[in-house]
Amino acid sequence: MAVIASAQIPARTSPEWRKRLEASGLTVLDREVPDGFPDVMSAIYAVNGIEVEPAVSVSDSLPDAPTQVDRAWAAQATAHEIVGNDGAFYILAPDARGHEVGWIHVRDSVGSELPSRIRAGTGNAEFLTVSENGRVLCAVSTEESDTWIVVHRFS
């Protein structure tokens, strides 16, 4: 299901989420969400459901936890081809109304330490990304005293 056109969603024009993405080192691209892309709420449930198991779990009590989360996300994102050759992928808008804004096509020209940059740019460690073909999700989620890297393949 494609996200409703930008003009129909006032939250999509909000500059706040765009500023947060840019502060994280991401460039917002003007590509529409392709047909057949995963529904935003389905993606959120794939990360927050009761039966969700992480691909990687990092204890927040570790002194180098942020570095380990950065490395784990990069390893999972690479293994599951989340980021295209040109550094592009889709991310859920980092906003309280992100589910209304939907998937945003971005390019990461920095290419490293994305979880740390997202946390610094948005004030929140959690984020959801989807590959450009919409088949695989790779997310960072905080669970009690751990940070999880969750990978989900859409059918």
107 within some domain: yes
pLDDT, tens digit, for every residue of 125-155?
899 999 999 999 999 999 999 999 999 999 8
Cβ-contact 60, 115 below 8 angstroms: no
Which residues touch 82 (CB under 8 Å, ≥6 apart)? 76, 89, 129, 130, 131, 136, 138
* Bridge partners, residue 106, by sequence: 28, 89
145 within some domain: yes
Which residue's structure tokens are 């996200």? 3
Task: Return the closest-CA partner of residue 16 out of 87, 84, 82, 104.
Answer: 104
Dmax over Cα atoms in the chain, in whole Å?
45
65 within some domain: yes
How many other CB atoms sit within 10 Å of the CB of residue 121? 17
pLDDT, tens digit, for every residue of 16-30?
888 989 999 999 998
30 within some domain: yes
Structural domains of the chain, count: 1
114 within some domain: yes
Task: Return the closest-CA partner of residue 103 out of 90, 84, 114, 89.
Answer: 90
The pLDDT of residue 38 is 93
1 within some domain: no
Domain extent at residue 76: 6-153
pLDDT, tens digit, for every residue of 50-73?
899 999 999 999 999 999 999 999
Number of residues that make up the chain: 155
Q: In whole angstroms, give the CA distance from residue 76 to residue 72.
A: 6
DSSP state of 142: E
Comparison of pLDDT for 24 and 5, the residue scoring more: 24
Residue 79, pLDDT above cutoff 90: yes
Instruction: With H, G, I as helix, E, B as strand and everything else as coil, classify residue 65.
Output: helix
131 within some domain: yes
